[in-house]
Amino acid sequence: MSKINRNFDYSNNEEMVRKITGTEFRDSGALWFVNTILHAFGMAITWNPETDELNAALVRFRGFDDEAINSGYRKITEYMRDNAEELLRDCE
C-alpha cells in the first residue's frame, strides 16, 4: 500500500495538517527513511503493530540489512509515484 488518501480541502487554506496512521507511515516507507537518518544519532522511531503507535527511542544499532534497504527504497519510490500529483498540488 503506497497510496495514502490525502484529499485535502484545497478551498480551505486553513487545513494544513492531516494525521495518518502508524501503519500508513510505515507502509509508505517513510518510517524506514526517517530511521536511516535517526540511526546516525542513535535514535529511531519505533512502531507497535498491536496499537499502531509510533514512539521515539534510543537504539544501539545503526543501519539496516540489504533486504530492508532494498524494500525501503522500493516503498519510497512507489509512494512518490502514487502520490506525485497530490504532492505537487500541495506545493501550489
Q: Residue 7 has what pLDDT? A: 76
**How far is 77 from 92, CA to CA, in rounded Å?**
22
Inter-CA distances, 51 with 22, 47, 48, 54, Å: 9, 9, 6, 9
* pTM, entire model: 0.84
pLDDT tens, 6-60?
777 777 777 788 888 999 999 999 999 999 999 999 999 999 999 999 999 999 9
Domain boundaries, the chain: 29-90
Q: Residue 2 has what pLDDT? A: 62
